[in-house]
Structure 1
Amino acid sequence: MAIKVFNSQVYSNPYQKLLYTAIESRYQLASGSLSQAITLQRLHKHSLYHIHWEESLFARCTTTARAVRVRQEYVRKLKHYVALGGKVIWTLHNVKPHEWRFVQTLVSLRKELAALSHRILVHNQTALSTLQAQTGLTSLSTVRVLPHPAYFDVYEPADQTIALAGRPPKHPRMLLHFGLVRAYKGIPDLVQKLPEEFMVAHQLTLHICGKPVRADSFLNDLLAQTQSRSDIKYSLDNVPVAEVAELLRSHAGLILPYHKVLTSGVAILALTLGVPIVAPDTSAMRELFPESSYILLFNPRSTKDLRRAVLTLVDMSAETRMRIAQDCIKKALAIRPELISKILGEIYDELLGLTGGNEGHSSITAIHAPFVDIFPNETPISLQDQRQASRDRIAPQHLPPLLFRLISEDMAMVINETKSDSAALSNQHLAVEFAIATLASNVTRSTVSADLILNNTKKDVNKFTIEQARLDGAYAVRLYKNIMSALETADDKADTADAGDK
């Protein structure tokens, strides 16, 4: 009999259903309250309570004082549930509430959830830094990266999705903003950055398609401000499921103007369908999309770069469109629903002390296989080949955490001040850059060449190996320390050899 997994919040979108695609014989998605989870725990002595979109807890609160009381009562009951032996899973979805209400109260709640949860799930590496910044979590031993599943077989059969990906659009100069129309998505800002004179000059139109969540004042103002613009088309209603895929493929591509998000369902949908998307150049988007589509990422602080990305989209060749589509499909297949579902099932199994069913322990085994001898060749290989080797060995959802990016932005964190030798200092910079370039695929603009690394380290760095490690902060720290240790050993030997020569 399938175990009910009470989800704190269940929405009608396909996301949660996809999570149970491959494990429904063992785990049943259930919409239930914390009180129901407590009752189930008392009866059966083992249960799971999965927290999603915790900001919904404050949906009916009108004052901060009320939100604080709701949080306190919820945490009290959650502690009681844990004391009874219940297992808590929390998925971090957003940076902040979409409507930006009771932010500080939410951060306080997240700190408490981080302490109480047996497993914390994030969709990408970018979310790890957000999690740590907001909760102060020092150990990531309870954290797992569980990517948002792709939307294969949701809007159309997967075979059809793959077959039609990359075909020329019916409306090659029409941009599509798709999804629920909400204030946080930045539509007013988008129409200002793409003024009528720009759109008309390049024969462009913008199609804003989706149902408003509510009659927000921003939408009324937006409609009033753009009523005379012939370059903007509105379709403010739900799109039938059977028409979604074709709608997206019929446009030049999607446009995603908002950037303060960790995960975007629309971005995942574009990836699944192989539809090009103009999106903000953030670490989350670089982690999600293939490198061939990076030409469509724009600096969210630059109107000029947004326009550059839009023109790149509408003017791209058929060959480029096809290459991006194929690369997107490959990335989407790596997060296909059945694989992500199996991984979630194994996380549940682990918490309940179960061996699991035949649905697949191979998923976890493959992902957590030891990353040993990643550069096996005796002769030096190019940095480009090293990057490709790392991508072939490491699953996209299990790349090293963003600590590498943070280190690269603040070299003072890793420079050994006791060393005065300029070559040793250069080696440390190069070690960090080497780790970023070869392992963190979301950083692709390294200027360091393999020859420069070899010249400065005086050793062949291709023999570095990577220990198997959990997806936590220690992964990045340990890898960095291993590289630094190897470089220091090389420097010591080189200094010894120099001293001998003298």
Structure 2
Amino acid sequence: MFELPPARAVPLCWFPDYAETNPYQTLLYDGLGPMFSPQAATLAETLDRQADVPGGRMIFHLHWEHAVLLQGKAEPFLDDLDKFRARGGRVVWTLHNLEPRDARLAGAMEDLRSGLVLLADLIHLHSLPAVVAAREALRLPPGRIRIIPHGGYEGAYPVAGREAARAALGLADARMVVLLPGRLAAYKQPAALVAAFSRVAGPHDRLLLAGQAPLDLLQGAPEDPRVAVLPDFASPEQVSQFHAAADIVALPYARSLTSGSAVLAQTLGRGVLGPDLPGLRDVVEQGRTGVLHDPRRPLDEVLAEALAEGPDRWAERGAAALALAPARDRRIVSAMWRDLFSALLVHAAPGRIGEVS
């Protein structure tokens, strides 16, 4: 009996590799199935691999483009990206953030993004609010924009119990516990949150800042025994424990296009408090699964109102958030990614875009 030879998986290289500290990429690529062969790689490594791929038929998926500038200048990277496409490769750019993490990179980032707008075959964003914000800031070509939601984290973190988590963290007697999780960068305004908490929280309320942080994280913030700072990498078990102990996940972003922290809070059944920005608007249902406030409102007022609502009201929001988590089922999200990557390989690569509208 005649048998067709097995189909060769399409190489898919992705950069940068943050899989050790953020499960987002692992969960995205693990669900693609046998048609694709994903591998973390720099663009230079991708070009080397492309030489052995028939017709150069492969995909380069760029995330968090600031990592490009940490390795060098924008122009050589864009030249290599142009070469990759000319050899038959396809490029997907996921736009996670609008502002660079380091303000000193703003000029270089503008140059890099201008080139990516011209060279990316598809530009991926996680939500309609993100598309609106991104198109206000960048001249993104509408025909190349694709929306695939941020998948949930179900199964990536163990389930922890509230009482055991609080006991383990020394929070058994706390009334309200507020958590600021994840990478504690300046755009999350941790010092401002500590200052506001110190002014408005009650004697039995607690604030937990848990995640990797620079040494000057709380420069200028008051010292407060009700505030605990755990500025180290947290294991999945610890992350679950922090969320289980919390009543509120506070995300006082100065800016947010996509919020994996908000998606994680939803997955683990916790309500979110934060400003009405695209990254939170995508995940939080106002009033029902959290509270989104006018970014211009003083954080003191916002936090005081949230704490005054008490643990029962926030437990209701957490339960409502958990009930909505299945909408981000990774099987659904993975199917969308398979369709996007598959369709990209079918069509001939367009040239650089002259004008976009």
TM-score band, normalised by the shorter chain? 0.7 to 0.9
Q: How does 1:452-463 map to 2 (within 5 A)?
A: none
Q: CA deviation at 1:246?
A: 2.8
Q: Distance in 1 between matches of 2:165 and 2:310?
A: 11
Task: Choose the corresponding residue for 2:115, options 112, 117, 120.
Answer: 112
**Which amino acid is the alignment partner of residue 81 of structure 2?**
L
Structure 1 vs Structure 2: percent identity of aligned residues? Answer: 23
Matched to 1:28, the amino acid is S
Paired residue type of 2:325: A
Structure 1 equivalent of residue 5 of structure 2: none
The amino acid across from 1:338 in the alignment is R
Give unmatched runs, 5+ long, in structure 2: 1-7, 167-171, 348-355
Task: Tell me whether 1:261 sits opposite 2:256 in the alignment.
Answer: yes
Kindly tell me: are residues 60 and 36 of structure 1, through their superposed partners in 2, closer, same or farther at Cα, counting changes over 3 Å? closer
**1:265-414 map, 5 Å:** 265-293=260-288, 296-303=291-298, 306-313=300-307, 315-316=309-310, 318=312, 320-353=313-346
CA distance in 2, matches of 1:326, 1:221: 35
Verify: 1:57 aligned to 2:68, yes or no: yes
Using the alignment, how far apart are the partners of 2:79 and 2:201 within structure 1? 54
Matches within 5 A, 1:205-284: 205-212=206-213, 214-215=214-215, 218-219=216-217, 221-222=219-220, 225-227=221-223, 229-284=224-279
Assess if the C-alpha contact under 8 Å between 1:88 and 1:117 holds in 2.
yes
Aligned CA distance change for structure 1 residues 350 and 176 (closer, same or farther; 3 Å)? same
CA distance in structure 2 between the partners assigned to 1:101 and 1:233 by the alignment = 31
Shift in Å, 1:153: 0.3
Q: What is the rounded CA distance, in whole Å, between the counterparts of 1:155 and 1:220 in structure 2? A: 28
For the 8 Å contact 1:297–1:309, the answer to whether it is kept is: no
1:133 Cα deviation after fit: 3.2
How far residue 285 of structure 1 moved from its aligned partner, in angstroms, is: 1.7
**Secondary structure of the structure 2 residue equivalent to 1:195:** helix
CA distance in 1, matches of 2:114, 2:59: 20
Give 2:60's aligned amino acid: Y
Tell me how far apart the structure 2 counterparts of residues 336 and 20 of structure 1 sit (CA, whole Å): 14
Q: Which SS does the other structure have where 2:143 is aligned?
A: coil
Deviation of the 1:2 alpha carbon: 3.3
Give how far 1:294 is off.
6.4
AA at the equivalent of 1:186: Q
2:151 to 149, 152, 156: 149
Cα drift, residue 260 of structure 1:
0.6
Matched residue type, 1:208: L
Q: 1:144 to 1:330 in 2, by over 3 A?
A: farther
Structure 1 residue 3 corresponds to structure 2 residue 10: yes
Give SS of 1:59's match.
helix
Q: Secondary structure at the match of 1:7?
A: strand
**Matched ranges for 1:156-175 at <5 A:** 156=158, 171-175=174-178
Gap change, CA 1:211 and 1:266, over 3 Å in 2: same
- The verdict on how the C-alpha distance between 1:2 and 1:326 changes in structure 2, with shifts beyond 3 A counting, is farther
The DSSP-based 3-state class of the residue aligned with 1:102 is helix
The aligned residue for residue 479 of structure 1 is none
Structure 1 residue 178 corresponds to structure 2 residue 181: yes
As a proportion of its length, which structure holds more helix?
1
Give the secondary-structure state (helix, strand or coil) at the position aligned to 1:181: coil
* Distance in 2 separating the partners of 1:53 and 1:303: 30
Shift of 1:142: 1.3
Measure the CA separation in 1 of the matches of 2:298 and 2:198: 11
Three-state SS of the structure 2 residue aligned to 1:29 is strand
- Normalised to the residue count of structure 1, the TM-score between the two structures is 0.60
Let me know the Cα RMSD of the aligned residues: 2.8
Q: Does the aligned pair in 2 maintain the 1:176–1:208 contact within 8 Å? A: yes
Q: 1:280 to 1:194 in 2, by over 3 A?
A: same
Pairing 1:28–2:45 present = no
State the alpha-carbon separation in 1 of the partners of residues 69 and 106 from structure 2.
10
Normalising by the residue count of structure 2, what TM-score does the alignment of the two structures yield?
A: 0.83
Is the contact between residue 296 and residue 310 of structure 1 (CA under 8 Å) also seen in structure 2?
A: no
How far 1:96 moved relative to its partner?
1.1
Deviations 1:43-84 (A, max 9, x none): 3221001111111111156xxxxxxxx211111111111111
What does 1:407-446 align with in structure 2 at a 5 Å threshold?
none
Could you list the per-position Cα deviations for residues 426-453 of structure 1 after superposition, in whole angstroms to 9, with x for gaps in the alignment? xxxxxxxxxxxxxxxxxxxxxxxxxxxx
Please state whether the residue corresponding to 1:242 is helix, strand or coil: helix
- 1:284 and 1:30, CA in 2 relative to 1: closer, same or farther beyond 3 A? same
- Counterparts of 1:41-56 in structure 2, within 5 Å, are 41-43=50-52, 44-45=54-55, 46-56=57-67
Which residue number corresponds to residue 350 of structure 2? Answer: none
The SS at the match of 1:73 is helix
Task: Please give the alpha-carbon distance, in whole angstroms, between the structure 2 residues aligned to 1:341 and 1:245.
Answer: 24
* CA pair 81-118 structure 1, distance change in 2 beyond 3 A: same
Q: CA deviation at 1:313?
A: 4.6
Match of 1:17 in 2: 26
- The number of aligned residues is 331
Q: Which has the higher Rg, Structure 1 or Structure 2?
A: 1
Instruction: Name 1:126's counterpart in structure 2.
Output: 129
Where does structure 1 lack aligned partners over 5 or more consecutive residues? 62-69, 355-472, 475-502
Q: Is the 8 A contact 2:60 2:91 kept in 1?
A: yes
| 2: CA distance, partners of 1:31 / 1:99 | 24
Which structure exhibits the higher relative contact order, with contacts defined as CA atoms closer than 8 Å and separated by 6 or more residues?
Answer: 2
The amino acid that maps onto 2:288 is: S
Deviations, residues 64-109 of structure 1 (Å, cap 9, x unaligned): xxxxxx2111111111111112100000010111122321221221
